[in-house]
Structure 1
Amino acid sequence: MLIRRLQSSSPDFSQQLDSLLAWEAESHDAVEGAVKEILAAVRTRGDAAVVEYTNRFDQRDAKTVADLTLGRELLQQALARIPAEQREALEVAAERIRSYHEHQRQESWSYQTPDGTILGQKITPMDRVGMYVPGGKASYPSSVLMNAIPAQVAGVPEVIMVSPAPRGELNDLVLAAAAIAGVDKLISIGGAQAVAALAYGTESIAKVDKIVGPGNIFVATAKRAVFGLVDIDMIAGPSEILVVCDGKTDPDWIAMDLFSQAEHDENAQAILISPDKAFLDAVENSIARLLPTLERKDIAGASLAKRGALIEAGSMDEAIELANRIAPEHLELSVEQPELLLLKVKHAGAIFMGRHTSEALGDYCAGPNHVLPTSGTARFSSPLGVYDFQKRSSVIQCSAAGASKLGRIASVLARGESLEAHARSAEYRILPGDR
C-alpha cells in the first residue's frame, strides 16, 4: 500500500481519522535520564561540562568554549565564500521575511480615563535570545532566517546561535544565513548541553531569555525541561501538510506537494482531501509514478504508508470541516476561489491559497514564518513571530481622583477576600470627601 484511502461516509471514519492523526512525541527513560544528567552537569560545572560533552558527542578536541565560538567576522567570511546564486537567494528570502515580520511589530500605547488615570501597555524586546540550528553536513539556512529575523525586527539586542559541528564540520550556507540574519555569534555546540548552556548560562555563554529552533529528541527533551526558567518557542512534532482540492489541479502538482512534507521523515504526515474520487485516483497514480524519482523516496514512501491518506469527502464544505478538525501545520487550498474557503478555515498554522501556491514557497522565501504549530496545536497556538520576542507590561498611573475612586472599589473587593492589607493600602488613597 503506497497510501491509505479513506471515505468520510464510512461508518468508522471518525475512528480511522483519529487513529491516523494520533501522535505522541517519543519519550524514553534513557533519553530523559541522559538529558537530566547533562543539564545538571552544565548547571554546576559550566564551560567545562559544555566542552566535555561536545568533545565526546561531536568528536571535537576543544579546550575552551572560545575554541568553539565564531564571531561575526567568520560568519561574514562564509557569506563571501558561497556562490553568488546562493547569496542572492538568501538575501532575497531574508528581505521578504523581514518585510513581512515588520508588519507584526507592536508598539506601546496608552489612554486616559475621565478621572485622569492613565492606562496602557509598554512593549519591550527580550534582552537575549538563543537559537538552535541542527548542524554538521545538514543545511538549514531557512531555519536561521526564520528564527533570527523576527527577533531582530522585535528589537532583541543579542541573538546567539548554537549549532553542532561534528568533527568540526560547519555548513557555509548556514553560516552565511547567520551573517545575513544578523546573528551576533555562533557557538558550535549542540544537543542537551547547548540548551543547558543557553538556559543556565556559563562562564563564557550568557543566559538567554528564550530558546527557539528545531532539534532532535535530546534537544526537544532539554527544551521541555528548562521551560519556565527560560521561554521556548514550542515542542514541535513531525511536519504536516493537508491539501484540500476541488479535483481540478494537476495531480502531479498535488502528489509533489504531498512529497514535500513526506520527505522530511518517516513520521511526517501528508493528507489530501477532495470530494472527487476520480481525482484521488489520479493523484494516487501520480504518487506511484513520481515517488521512485525522489532522492528521498524511501523516507517519503515510509511516511505516506505510515501516516499519509487520500480522503474522499462528501463535499467541499465537509472537506473544510475536516481540515478544521485536523488543524494542520500547513493547509493548501488548491481551488479556484480559495478566498471563499478561507472564510471557513478556523485552525491552521499557515494557509496556502490557490493552485499556484505550493507549501514549499512558504518554507523558504514567501515571507511568513515557517516555524508553525503541529499535531493539532494550531487550535490554540500561532506561527513564530515578532510578538514572540516582545514582552508586554501593563502601565497604570492614577491621579488623586482616580486613586480615590478605584480605592473604594478595591477596598470592598479586598475585604471580601479577607485581605486586609490590600484594602487598607487602597483606603489610604481615598480622599476625605469620598470616604
Structure 2
Amino acid sequence: MKIQSVTKELSLKRSVDSGTDEQRIVVQHIIQTVQSQGDDALRTYTKQFDGAELESLQVTQEEIDEAYSEFPEQMIKVIKEARDNIFTFHQKQLRETWTYTDSNGSVLGQKMTPLDSAGVYVPGGTAAYPSSVLMNVMPAKVAGVERIVMVSPPGPDGRLPAGVLVAAEIAGVQEIYKVGGAQAIAALAYGTESIKPVDKITGPGNIYVALAKREVFGDVDIDMIAGPSEIAVLADESARPAEIAADLLSQAEHDTRASSVLVTPSRTLAEETAAEVEKQLAGLPREAIARQAIDSYGAIYVTKNMKEAVGVINQLAPEHLEVMTENAMDIVEDIRHAGAIFVGRFSSEPIGDYFAGPNHVLPTNGTARFSSPLNVDDFMKKSSLIMYSEQAFRENAEKVAAFARLEGLEAHARAVEIRKENDQ
C-alpha cells in the first residue's frame, strides 16, 4: 500500500458510476416494457438475463420449505440471532406521534405513520446475501410497514439461494418474487399482474439496478444510490498491524473500486501494516479483486499527531470507520463524519455487517457528511398536526393575512379574514 503524508485535500470520493448513455437507454426501455407488458416482460427478461424460464414469479412455500431442509441448522440459528439483534437495535429508533398544547390553547405536533409498503431488492448472481435481507427488512418491520415485498434474480434453475429464502422467512417477508435487474425495480415501482407496486425501494444492486432506481425515484422513494464499499482505520501504535490489514482487506475483496485507508500518526505502524496487507493478500480467494482495489484506492496516511488524523477522517467521511487507539471512545467524540463507527480492536467491521445490530446499509462516497444509515425513519412519514385555538386565531389572523399579502397571495389573506368577518 502507498504510504504518504497528508495533503490539504483528501477524499475517498470516486466518480459514482452513473452508467453509459447506452445503459441508461436500456434501463428506460426495460422500465417502459414492464409498464406496458407486465408479467410477460418480467418472464422474458428473466429468461434473457438469468437463463431461467418461470411459470410462476412468486416463490412458493414449498420452495421455502425445501430451502430450510437443505440449509445448515447451525446457520439457521445464527440468522435468527442476527435478526433479533437487528430488531432490538432498530426498535430503539422508533419514534412516536407527539403533541403539545401552546399557551393560547392550540394543539401542535407531529404524527408518525409507517409506509403502507416497501420493496427490498436482494442481489443475486454468484453470491447470496442473507444479511442484505435482514438489514433491509427489519427496520421496515419495526416501523410497522404492513406489506414488505422482496425481489431477487433466480439462478438458471429458477430458484433463489437457500440462504436468501431462509433469511426472508426468518425476517417475516410474505411476498417473494424471482425477478431481478431493472425489470424488478420497474415492477416494484409500477406494478404488474403479479406484483403490486410499493411506496419505497431499498437494497443494493448492479449498475442497471442503480440506474433503474434513479429512473423511478419520484414515483416511489428509494434508499440511496450506493457507491463502492469504503473502510478507514484510525489507529495509533497500540493497534496490531495484522488486524488492521485484515480489516482493510475485508472491504477490498468486495469490489475492485473499494477503498481501504489507514490513517495514523505512527510511521512504524504504517510500514508494518503495509507489509501485512501484502502478506495477507497472497492466497485470498478474491485476491485479484482485493489487490486491484488496494493498488487503485488503498492508501496509508501518516499524520503529525492524532488531532490531525481525526481531521483527516472527518475530511474523508468514510462509510465504515474503525477507531483502534488508546482511549478510543474519547476520540469518537471528535468524529463528525462516518457512516458507522467501530470502536476498539474487537469491533471488526464484519461484526457490524452481519450480527451486532446496527444497519450495514450506509452512506458512501463522502455522503456521510449529510446522510445516515438505513433506519426506521426511512420507512415512516411525518405529518404535521395543527389544531389552532380560537384565541390563537384571533390573536394572529391579521399577522397571517399581512404575511400573505407581503407575498402577493390575496386569496390566502382572505381565507383567514373571512373567518373573522363571519364571526362579527
- Displacement, 1:354? 1.1
Partner residue in 2 for 1:32: 24
For residue 415 of structure 1, what is the aligned residue in structure 2? Answer: 405
Where does structure 1 lack aligned partners over 5 or more consecutive residues? none
Within 5 Å, give how 1:275-424 maps onto structure 2: 275-424=265-414
Q: Does 1:122 align with 2:111?
A: yes
Superimposed CA distance per residue, residues 388-428 of structure 1 (whole angstroms, 9 cap, x where no aligned partner): 00000011112222222232221110111111111011112
Of 100-109 and 335-344, more deviation after overlay is shown by 335-344
Question: How far is the alpha carbon of 1:77 from its aligned partner?
Answer: 4.5
Q: Secondary structure at the match of 1:70?
A: coil
Report how far residue 113 of structure 1 moved: 1.1
Look up the match of 1:213.
203
Count of residue correspondences:
423
* Residue 97 (structure 1) aligned to one of 66, 86, 92: 86
Aligned with 2:149: secondary structure?
Answer: strand
* 1: CA distance, partners of 2:421 / 2:99: 25
1:120-140 CA deviation, whole Å, 9 max, x = no partner? Answer: 111010001000001244110
Offset of residue 325 of structure 1: 0.3
**CA shift digits 1:145-174 (9 cap, x unpaired):** 000010000000011000001312421011
Residue type at the aligned position of 2:52: R
Q: CA deviation at 1:68?
A: 1.8
Look up the match of 2:42.
50
Q: Per the alignment, in what secondary structure is the counterpart of residue 429 of structure 1?
A: helix
Deviation at 1:245, TM superposition (A): 0.2
Candidates 5, 14, 22, aligned match of 2:8: 14
Distance 1:76 1:316 in 2: 54
Shift of 1:72: 5.2
Show the 5 A alignment for 1:216-235: 216-235=206-225
Q: Following the alignment from structure 2 to structure 1, what is the Cα–Cα distance between the partners of residues 15 and 305?
A: 27
1:48 and 1:121 map into 2 onto residues whose CA distance is 43
* Mean Cα deviation higher: 160-169 or 146-155: 160-169
TM-superposed CA distance for 1:71, in Å, is 4.3
Cα distance between partner residues in 2 of 1:264 and 1:104:
29
Query: 1:73 and 1:169, CA in 2 relative to 1: closer, same or farther beyond 3 A?
Result: closer
Kindly, what percent of the aligned residue pairs are identical?
46
Equivalence map 1:124-203=2 (5 Å):
124-167=113-156, 168-203=158-193
- For residues 363-386 of structure 1, the C-alpha deviation after alignment (integer angstroms, 9 at most, x for no partner) is 000100000000000000000001
Give the superposition deviation at 1:248: 1.6
Contact 2:85 2:356 in 1 (8 A): yes
Distance (whole Å) between structure 2 residues aligned to residue 80 and residue 129 of structure 1: 28
Q: Aligned partners of 2:74, 2:408: CA distance in 1, in Å?
A: 69
**Conservation of the 8 A alpha-carbon contact between 2:3 and 2:271:** no
Residue 54 of structure 2 corresponds to residue 62 of structure 1: yes
Check 1:114–1:432 CA distance in 2 against 1; reply closer, same or farther (3 A cut). Answer: farther
Unaligned runs of 5+ in 2: none
Instruction: For residues 44-76 of structure 1, give each alpha carbon's deviation from its aligned partner in whole angstroms, at most 9, with x where no partner exists.
Output: 22222122211211112224xxx1211456435
Q: CA RMSD in A?
A: 1.5
Match of 2:236 among 243, 246, 252: 246
Q: What secondary structure does 2:195 align onto?
A: coil
CA contact (8 A) 1:71 1:184 kept: no
Q: TM-score, normalised by structure 2?
A: 0.97
Letter of the 1:110 counterpart: T
Alignment of 1:71-82 (within 5 A): 71=60, 74-82=63-71
Could you tell me how far apart the structure 2 residues matched to 1:76 and 1:215 are? Answer: 26
